[in-house]
Copies of this chain bind each other. A is one copy, B any other.
Amino acid sequence: MADVDWRTLTRVGPSTPMGGMLRSYWQPVLLSSELPDPDGPPVRVRLLGENLIAFRDSSGQVGLLGNHCPHRGASLFFGRNEENGLRCIYHGWKFDRTGRCLDTPNEPPESSFKDRIRQLAYPCEERGGVIWTFMGPQENAPPLPDFEWLHVPASQRYLTKHTQDCNWLQALEGDMDSSHVGFLHGMLNKHVPGIKTAQGPAREYLAKSLQPRFDIMLTEFGLLIGACRAVGEDRDYWRVTAYLMPFYALIPPTGDAPLRVNIWHPTDDENTLVWRIDYHPLRALTEAELENLRSGLFAHVNPDEYLPPSSAPGGPWRPRANKENDYLIDREAQRTKSFSGLTGFWLQDRVATESMGPVYDRTQENLRSSDRGVIQVRRLLIRTLEAFQDEGRQPPAVDPATHRARAVAMELPRNASWSEFVREPATAHGSWRLSP
């Protein structure tokens, strides 16, 4: 269809083309720990533009129902969670996690009416401490996601979330672009060594390490985006980011540090919930690593730096540093310590993509060679959406057999072919194939 363009990719509601394709995948809903107890308080969730109510029923299973009671429309958020169902506070109508109406107690008992009522319900499953749901036609539901991080013990994993006030695609694109690392995330005395103050020698920015060479491979799960920087005389340093369709980015580690996965999950067209996971496939995270992860300096918000839910309509995951306070930018630090003056890689990424506005008008861009990752992701999404729409073709990475990718950082001999070497380290378990 000729009319699929970047704008189409940004619209995620139930009746949109992209919304349809996204509903071919399982969606992350909540942490299991956000619904800790059977029959505990329901929790509001907004996914792909839909308002839903999540609850853990008496059996410990999670349900995800439409917000409005099908009787007269009161919100089930205020409902009573009891005896394997959520009961509306208005007239006591009760629904189980499959949407079946169990009880209409203000109606005569002989009424068989309740058998004909169904509430919107999406099936939920838990894996790896995450609640997942499938919002597409149930007959199309693939097996659960099978990412490596879902299978490691909790001690090997650290996960946080934060809200981002812009469209999911523009947020995701930041991860497809390895060339911003030396700038946006740069420390003035480290990655950009000559720059001690703003008056320093700007020539240093041109240091080769800041201009990686890109190469991209199409795979059965999405893309591998290699960024190559020369190291010393005869070596290349390859950082290979994986784009796993539709909203997963696998970020290469440094040395034996944990691997990272970012999920850029569409709340609606103008809001994204960012999930960030650090995990080590082989060992528990060390206390020192956990301290780093909690510090707020790297990929995760410092847990003490969220807004209290009462002042954050977006729920409990809204960071204190916000567009309303210019993200607490420290201009003195920007002159003397860090390229951005913003504290935390997560925040630097957020500012870069949020400050484009809710949905950035891509016709205003000037893309260059360093943006090949961004370009390829859009192309892949557009091509996939066209094939999904026109031919009903199942999109890549719906099948969890394709979920076994890893991001990779590796040193190779100068000018070695990375595609020969990347396959093994980029495989988490099982194997994956290049696209035919």
Report A's interface with B, CB cutoff 8 A. Answer: 39-41, 58, 68, 70-75, 77-78, 80-83, 89-92, 94, 103-109, 111, 113, 117, 173, 177, 179-180, 182-184, 198-200, 202, 205-206, 210-211, 310, 313, 324-327, 329, 331, 334-335, 339-342, 348, 351-353, 355-357, 360-361, 364-371, 374
Contact = CB atoms under 8 A, between A and B. Distances in A.
Contacts of A90: 180, 183-184, 352
Contacts of A205: 92, 103, 105
B366 A211 contact: no
Contacts of A179: 91, 106
18 contacts: A39-B199, A41-B331, A68-B356, A68-B357, A72-B360, A73-B360, A74-B351, A74-B356, A78-B327, A78-B329, A78-B342, A91-B370, A94-B202, A103-B205, A104-B368, A105-B210, A109-B211, A313-B324
Contacts of A78: 327, 329, 340-342, 351, 355
| A interface SS class | loop
B183 A83 contact: no
A251 to B, nearest CB: 17
B106 A73 contact: no
B198 A82 contact: yes
Contacts of A324: 313
B106 A71 contact: no
Contacts of A117: 366
A173 B313 CA distance: 29
